[in-house]
Structure 1
Amino acid sequence: MSDQPTHAPVHPPKREVFDVPARTNTDNKGFVRPVEEYRATEYGLYMSRTADHPRFHHLETWLLPSLGLRANIFHFVGGYREGQRLYLDVGRFHGPDDDGRWHAVDWYLDLVDAPGSPLALIDVDELFEAHAAGLVTTAEATEATEIAAQALIGAAVAGDVQSWLDAQVGERLTWLDRPA
C-alpha cells in the first residue's frame, strides 16, 4: 500500500470554440451552449452566457490573444468561492477564423484573483504532468510559464490584475454588473 496520494490521470489541454455567428460556445467536453452576448474588439473577444453548473449560474469571459490569457468571472451560487473575482486561464487564444469562430487551448496554469490577496498561481503540477506525458511541448510549457510570470509581475506592479489587464489592452475591460 502506497502513502502517495492518488491523482486523476492527466487530461489533454482543454479546447473550446466560440462560434460568434451561431452565438454558441462549445466547451472542452463538446457541450454546445447558447451565448447571450459576444463582443469582438481589436484586442479580444468578450462572451457572456448562462451556465447549467451546480457551482455557478453565469460565465463572463474575455479572450485576450496577445496576452495569452482568458479572463473569466464566474457568477457563483451563494456560499461558493465568495471571495474570488477573476479567474485567468493561460493558453493560446485566437480568432476569428474564416467562419467567424474563435478558439481556445488551455495550458493548465491558472491565476486566481481574490481582492485583498496577491494573485495566486495554481495548477503548476498539472502543467508538469502534461509535459511529462507529452501533451504539451517544451515550447508551450515555457510560453505558459512566461505568460503566468508576466501576469503575476504585472498585477503586482499595477496593484491589481484588473488594472494591469486594462493597461495592457488600452481600455477598461467591461463586465456585467450582475448580482450573485
Structure 2
Amino acid sequence: MQVAGKPAKDSRTVTTQIIFPVDANHNETMFGGKLMEIMDKTAAIAALRHARMQVVTASTDSLDFLAPIQVGEAIEAEAFVTWTHRTSMEVFVSVMAENVQTGERKRTVTGFFTFVAMQDGKPSAVPPVIPESELEKHLFQTAGARYELRQKRKQDRQIDL
C-alpha cells in the first residue's frame, strides 16, 4: 500500500532563542555543541511532524559553521524534511543569527540530519515528501547523492578498530 505524500512545508519547524553567556565559550561566541543540540531538537520536531510517530536521530552530517554567534544575538533554527527513504527522513536545518539591536541577520550554520521513524520499537514506513519551493526541489533532487554518501560512510565504519 502506497502512503500519500506530504508537502515539505508541512514539516517546517522554527526554534527561536536569545544567546546568553551560559551558552557561550571564553570568546563570547556560542558553543557549537549547544547549537547542535538546538538543531537536533528542531530537526526532530520536523521529522515528527512528517512521520506522525516517534523518531530517532540516525545521522548528523554536513554541519557547516559559517559564522560565529555572539552573546546577545537571537538565533532562529529552521528545519524541514527534504527527502524520505523507506523508514528514514533527511531533514535540512539552517540557523540565522540576528543582532536584535541593529536587525542585521546572518546565516551561521547549515546541516542535514537523518531520522528513522519508530513504531513499537521497530523502524516504520514514512510517507514520501513533496517538494514545492525551489529550495525544497533542489534539496530533494540532490538528496539521493547525500543518502549514498551516508551509506558508504556507514559501511566504511563497520570495520574493527
Q: Which TM-score applies when normalising by structure 2?
A: 0.39
Higher relative contact order (CA 8 A, sep 6+): 2
- Structure in which a larger fraction of residues adopt helix: 2
